Amino acid sequence: MQRHGIVVGVLTLVLALPVLAAEPSLADSAGISYVLPSCANASGLFGAYYKTRLTLLNPNGGTLALLFYLLSPSGPLGPVSYTVPATSSVTFDNALQDLFSYTGGGGLVIYTDPSTPNRGDQFVVSAQVYVEGPNGLYTTPIPAMTAGDQIHTSFDTPGESVSVGVQVDAQNRANVACANDASTSTSVVTATLHDNSGVQVWQTTMTLGPGVWQQVPVPVNVERGSISWVATGFITYCYAVNVNDTSNDGTLLPPTAVTTSSR
């Protein structure tokens, strides 16, 4: 993808090692795991209070032992355990409060307990961040991400991860956020915003220690712009989100992996 405008910086990496070891995630030994990149139990702008509703379905004939990690600005919290009965579902209307007694924003890692014999059993996750206001309930569906949804790294083949449709104006604001699911290593993420003609208008860098989540507001106006993401860590999850200032209704903009060409 061709970009036009001012080049803010160029980073050259010299790799001394011919082989890059895989970085273990917080749920590395689990059979099944998901990452919810955006969760909240927090006050927002214009009187909003954001909560996360989480529903878990166990379609199996036996009970399912799950573990939860919270990726927070200060690092991982947990694990917290919860057992879902056979062929049943459970819903947390304020998941971060119910599971961690936590106030703030973060990412949530959900995985099967590796010490149990049913660690490979499938389960279903549904999640929304929601606001209850005078005009009703506004919800933002949160995708349950897996290993294929990690953002592009500087070591990958040519390409990038891109979130499209970023809107900042007098009625709307936007944030970008990332979570590092690595158990030991730091991931440095660069998020670059382009307007709809391809001109770079803003860039930010987030340095995420193991199990760290961070959110940054977009400080410039843009009409349906795009964010390109690149990370130094292999298990980093990112997103952008548009929020309407009147309703506090949010639209999540998850990244899409694309292979670019100079043609």
Which contiguous run of DSSP H or E holds residue 95? helix 95-100
Higher pLDDT, 199 or 24: 199
How far is it, in rounded angstroms, from Cα 119 to Cα 34? 13
Average pLDDT, the chain: 88
Paired residues of 212 in beta bridges? 72
Higher pLDDT, 178 or 137: 178
pLDDT single digits (tens) 118-163: 889 999 999 999 998 776 788 999 999 998 899 988 776 667 899 9
Of 186, 228, 153, nearest in space to 1 by CA: 228
Q: Return the exposure string of 75-86: e unless at least 16 CB atoms fall within 10 Å of the residue's CB, then b.
A: ebbbeeebebee
**Is residue 47's pLDDT more than 80?**
no
More confident residue, 13 or 103: 103
Determine the Cα–Cα distance for residues 251 and 168; give it in Å rounded to an integer: 12
Fold of 149-256: Hypothetical Protein Tm1070; Chain: A (2.60.290)
Residue 5: predicted pLDDT: 33
Q: Do domains 33-142 and 149-256 have the same CATH topology?
A: yes
pLDDT at residue 10 above 90?
A: no
Task: Render pLDDT for 197-225 as a digit per residue (tens, 0 to 9).
Answer: 999 999 999 999 999 999 999 999 999 99
Q: Does domain 33-142 have CATH number 3.40.1410.10?
A: no
Residues paired with residue 54 on neighbouring β-strands, in sequence order: 92, 127
181-198 tens-digit pLDDT: 999 999 999 999 999 999
Beta strands 172-180 and 124-133 are: unpaired
Q: In this prediction, what percent of the chain has a pLDDT beyond 70?
A: 89
Query: CB atoms < 10 A from the CB of 16, how many?
Result: 4
Task: Name the band, by pLDDT with cuts 50, 70 and 90, for residue 94.
Answer: very high
pTM of the model: 0.86
Q: Domain locations in the chain?
A: 33-142, 149-256
* Range from 8-12, 202-206, 228-232 that averages highest in pLDDT: 202-206
